[in-house]
Structure formats: structure tokens, C-alpha cells
Chains A and B, each alone.
Chain A
Amino acid sequence: MIFKCKNCGGNVVYDPEIQKMHCPYCDGVDSEEKKTEQQSIYNCINCGGVISNIGEFTSASRCPYCGDYIIFDERVTGAYKPNRIVPFVYSKELTKKKLREKFKSCVFAPGDFLSEVKLDTMTGLYVPFWMYDYHVQGRYDGEGSKIRKWVSGNREYTETSVYHIVREMEVDFDKMPVDASDAMPDNIMDLMEPYNYGQLVDFKEEYMSGFFAERYNQDDMAMEPRAVGKAKSDAELLLRNSISGYVGLKSSLNNQVTLARTQTNYALLPVWVYNYKYKGEDFTFHVNGQTGKIVGRVPLSKAKVWGYGATVFASVFALLMLVRQLLLFF
């Protein structure tokens, strides 16, 4: 499908800054009209050009010939229809600004790292996520000591009190997220969190126009172990945080956390992806399209760091020797 402008026939996209559909050609707002008569996934619905580089899971892309944003119907409907989405809040311009702010002090980054030309290659991507609700029961059973010290006369006393500690807890986790895209590194997606669920809305195809997207690569059963792991470690931490003031905590073996899944959501979450190549190495930056949180390793010139390091050494030495000389005067 494609969203066309009723007024001018241009490609209408979702504009995060005004949070409305916007035609960049005639500046029309909410002027979109959905067109769906696509002959095949490999033909652009707008120009008919053959798009050969569509990935197996791609659900929204951009035609390399006419530049229009197209959405693949069969990958956003039926079993692949997401029920929730967090629409982009950060536009491309805002994201550029955010990246520049964050890395402007990085003197070791190559010169064109934040250039307009390079930053313009950044793409907005809706990443598929499974979100699991859990009811969790946890139990902690263990021993810990409290130590009290005091001095009386010329002796120091140490009192050790040993306690038996028991905690039983119930907690509900709401939408524990796990990305369902093989292309997205799990650790990076974990660092993208948290998304603000206040803006998690019912899915509408319009939000996808103007961005790239994927459908889930694997179903909710296949992805669940990661969610269980996250929920368990959170629950264990909650239990542990309820125990304070003890030293030498020892837990006994009958501690356990049990989970029961209560609900599952399939949602799309917004991520800006900026790929930067430096000396044959890929540096990829992921920016949370809702909160603007940046995750990525800045490329740096090692020679530059060593050179600067040598300067620091020489300068500090010179400075301290001057201070030393000054002190000699007095």
C-alpha cells in the first residue's frame, strides 16, 4: 500500500513533529488516501519499478527509483498485523541535532562523522517487538548477619547477630519487551529501553508511511525465553532489594521465581539507525525514536588518541615543573 496526497498525488508521510500525516510536496496535512492495488511485493506500487532488495521480513521500505515509501500489505495484515505501535516522536532533523549535541565533544571522531551528508543516510525503522505480561511469584530464604561495634575501656567489642530472612513476593510485569528482529542486536535493543508506554497506541498503517519496518521474524513462543530471563532477573533484584542492613548474605536453595504469562502484545517500536563506515569498519548508531536515547560506539582514530595523550603528558609535566620552579622561589 501507499499513502497518496488527495491534493497533489505526492507521497504522504507521518510527520513526528506535528504528529500528523503530512504531504511534503504540497504541505497538505491529513490529506492522505490509501492505495492498495499492488501487483507484487517486488513492484513499486507507485512507479512499477522492480525492487529487488526487499528482505524476507521487510514490511515497509522505500522505492529506489521514485523514492516513495511503500508498505507491504501482506506483512502488516492477518497474523502479522501489530496490535500496538509507538509512533516516531523524533524526526530525522531532531535526531541529527541530538547526535550532534551528544558527540560534539568527541574530538577523536573522524571529521565527517557528524556531517550533514553522512547523517542524511540515517533511516527510521519500526522494529517488531513481542511484549509479555507476567504474574510473578518469588521467594527468598536465607541467612544474614548484622554487626555492631563499640569501644568500652580499652577493648573493642563486636556483636554479630545472625538472622533467618524470608521474603515472599508477588508482582505483575507489564509488557516486558523483546525485539523480534534477527537483524537487530539484542544487547543494543535492550539498551534502547525503556520506551514510554504512555504513547503506545493502537496500530495504524499510517504511522508507517515514511519509515522502514520489519514484521516479526519469529513468533511469540520462540522469543519468550529472553523475556522470561529479563522478568526473572528483575524479580530476583526486587526480592534482594527488600533485604538491607545485612552482611554475608547466604541464600538457601529453595528460592524460586515462577512466572505466568497473562497477555502478549505484538508492537512496533521506533528506532533511528545511522551507519557510519570508518577504515572499513561499520559503526552503527541506534537512536530510540521516541526518547532520543543514543546507543553506539564512536569511531576513533587511535593515532589521534596517542598524540593527544603525549600532549597531555608533556603539558602536565611542563606545568608541574613550572609549579615546582615557582615553589623554589619561596
Chain B
Amino acid sequence: MKQYFSYFKFLFITILVMALLTGGIGVVRSLTEKYIRKNNAAEGERVFDYADVLTAAEEKKLAEQIAKREQQTGCDIVIVTIDQSVLEFYGYEANTDSNWSRAMRDFADDFYDENGFGYNRVHGDGVLLLDNWYEGEKGSWLSTCGRVLERYSNSMIDAVLDDVYDRVEKSPYKAYSAYIEDIYRDMTRGRININPLIPLGVAAVAAVIFIVSHMKTKEGEKTTGATTYVQNGSVQFTVMRDELINKHVTSVAYNPSSGSGGHSGGGGRHVSSGGVSHGGGGRRR
């Protein structure tokens, strides 16, 4: 046992130091990191239940949850439910997917802009979930703005919508609560998010290498070579001939390949009628 600990001393100490560091940073973060609200134009309401799918108690609970998460993320988090035709509202005649998307997007963006949302300033950091319950136009739209726009890629927006759709038919409250938690998780977590399977794989490989390298024990290395028993200077090449027999040349087309890079965040970026940059996405359900 003593030998065991002395063998892994360095590794264990490193883990301990890392754990203390990580825990320490985590604690300090949670204590100190409260964003200070700088936009006083949009104080108050965040949950606008026009479709009346939430009870008064649920609305209150969501509002409390939002208040807490807004401080931690520094982003306004808004929920709007409607039970009306956005297509009619914007004068679209055909109920096509693209018309629906445009109408939902504009409704969400305009609602955000007109109410002056944004935690740091009017039209600043924030996100709005528009959930439409109108028969034939059911679906959600997520409108992102400011830091949320910068952070959210299309796939992240999809992930939030998935979480909402998984729950919304059974319990709208749970769906919207999940949306708030998603925003909190994504906005407080760093950009560098490594898949946990990678550490798992690396650890497995390290363990296998460790075991294999220790299972195979060698008798000893060979320490003689071709010249070990050669009497000093006795190697003589009486013939050393390299004659060219033939030579031929072939050629192939040469085109070096090139790569390309990527960029995440800013999913669905556009400028709203109010001149504010928004991102977002949505789909019918």
C-alpha cells in the first residue's frame, strides 16, 4: 500500500491540486459572478402567456426562475405564448413553411425590440422564446440577441427547441423551464466544451498502454552488432560496383489539396425591422 501511494504520488497530488483549483474557481465564480443590470427600460415582466397555457402559479415560478438565471447569465430571458395566426398578422396568404418561419421570426424579433429587452442595454443581450398554439401554425421560434446571438449556433438552437418540444404538449411549464435552464447552461459554460467520451477514451488507451508495457518483461537487450567480432580494420571490399542498368521517368498530374476552417455561433443571423441584429430559428410541431 505504501509502495502504491508512493508510485502514484505525483498523479494523486496533481489530481488533488486540479480538483481544488477547479472547485475554487467554481465557488468564486458562483459567489462573485452576478451581472449588474444596466437596462432599466425593460424591468418587470418576462412571461407573456397570451395563449393562456400556464396557471398563475406556474407563471410566478417561471418568473422567479428567470429572475435568478438572468442575474447569473447577464441575459434577458423572455417567454411569449400566443394563440393567434402570425401569418394573418403579417398579411401572408399561403401557409407555407417559409412564410410561417418569416412571420414567427418577425413577431419574435419585433416583440423583443418593442419591449426594449436586453440585460446590458436596450436591444442588448437576451433571448426570447415565442411559442405559438394557434391551430395550423403551432411551433416555436427562438430569437437571440447580443451575446446570446454570438454564442448560439444553429445546432444549439435546435437543441433548445428539442428540449421544449419533448415536453410542451404534456406540460408547457416544464418545457419553458427547460428552455430557461438550457439558456443558463449554455451562457455560463465556456465555449470549449469537450465531449466526455474523449477523456474516457484517452484514459482507456493510457491504461491499456500501461498494462501492456508492464506485462511484457524483456530478458535483455542484444548488445552485439555485425562488427563486434570483426578484427580491427579487417573488413575489405575487393569489389564494390553499382552499375546503372536502366532509367525511366513517369509523371502524374499534381494538385496540392487545401483545407477550410469553420466558425460556430451566430446561428440564423439577420437584422430585424427595428434595425437590431437577431439570430434564431424555429420549426413547426
Contact = CB atoms under 8 A, between A and B. Distances in A.
Interface of A: 107-108, 139, 143, 151, 154-177, 187-188, 190-191, 193-194, 231, 234-235, 237-238, 241-242, 293-298, 300, 302, 305-330
Across the A-B interface, the 9 shortest Cβ-Cβ residue pairs: A320-B199, A295-B220, A313-B207, A168-B239, A317-B203, A237-B226, A172-B234, A316-B203, A309-B211
Interface stretch (B36-44, B59-67, B125-133, B243-251): B243-251
Contacts of B56: none
Contacts of A159: 247-249
A39 B182 CA distance: 98
Given A297-B219, A329-B25, A320 B203 contact: yes
B220 A107 contact: no
Interface of B: 3-4, 7-8, 11-12, 14-15, 18-19, 21-22, 25-26, 29, 189-194, 196, 198-200, 202-204, 206-208, 210-211, 214-215, 217-231, 234-255
Nearest to A177: B229
A319 B21 CA distance: 12
A95 to B, nearest CB: 15
A280 to B, nearest CB: 18
Contacts of B238: 168-170
Contact of A154 (B203, B217, B254): B254
24 contacts: A156-B251, A159-B247, A160-B247, A161-B247, A162-B244, A163-B243, A168-B238, A174-B229, A177-B229, A191-B219, A193-B223, A194-B228, A237-B225, A300-B217, A305-B214, A313-B204, A315-B15, A316-B207, A326-B18, A326-B25, A327-B190, A328-B189, A329-B26, A329-B190
Contacts of A319: 11, 14-15, 18
Contacts of B221: 191
Given A163-B244, A327-B192, A170 B236 contact: yes
A167 B229 CA distance: 21
A169 B207 contact: no
Given A161-B247, A322-B21, 17 more contacts: A169-B236, A190-B222, A191-B219, A194-B223, A194-B229, A234-B229, A234-B230, A293-B223, A295-B219, A302-B215, A308-B7, A308-B210, A312-B203, A312-B206, A317-B202, A319-B15, A323-B199
Contacts of B203: 312-314, 316-317, 320
A300 B214 contact: yes
Chain B interface mostly = mixed
A137 B279 CA distance: 83
Contacts of B214: 108, 300, 305, 308-309
Contacts of A298: 217
Contacts of B8: 308, 311, 315
Contact of A151 (B15, B193, B200, B254): B254
Contacts of B248: 159-160
A269 B111 CA distance: 96
B120 to A, nearest CB: 20
Nearest to B250: A158
B237 A167 contact: yes
Contacts of A327: 190, 192-194
Contact of A238 (B223, B227, B241): B227
B207 to A, nearest CB: 4
Contacts of A169: 235-238
A312 B210 contact: yes
Contact of B244 (A161, A188, A302, A321): A161
Contacts of B251: 155-158
A30 to B, nearest CB: 34
B107 to A, nearest CB: 34
Contact of A168 (B192, B228, B237, B254): B237
B195 to A, nearest CB: 9
B237 A173 contact: no
A296 B221 CA distance: 10
A313 B254 contact: no
A296 to B, nearest CB: 6
B252 A191 contact: no
Given A160-B247, A168-B238, A315-B12, A324 B194 contact: yes
Nearest to A322: B18
A191 B223 CA distance: 7
Contact of A329 (B15, B29, B211, B219): B29
Given A156-B254, A321-B199, A238 B220 contact: no
B207 A173 contact: no
Nearest to B240: A167
Contacts of A324: 194, 196, 199
Contacts of B228: 193-194, 234
Given A159-B249, A238-B230, A315-B8, A326 B239 contact: no
Given A169-B238, A191-B220, A320-B203, A238 B190 contact: no
Contacts of B222: 190-191
Nearest to B28: A329
Contacts of B243: 163-166
A324 to B, nearest CB: 5
B215 A305 contact: yes
B244 to A, nearest CB: 6
Nearest to B254: A156
Given A171-B230, A188-B219, A293-B220, A166 B200 contact: no
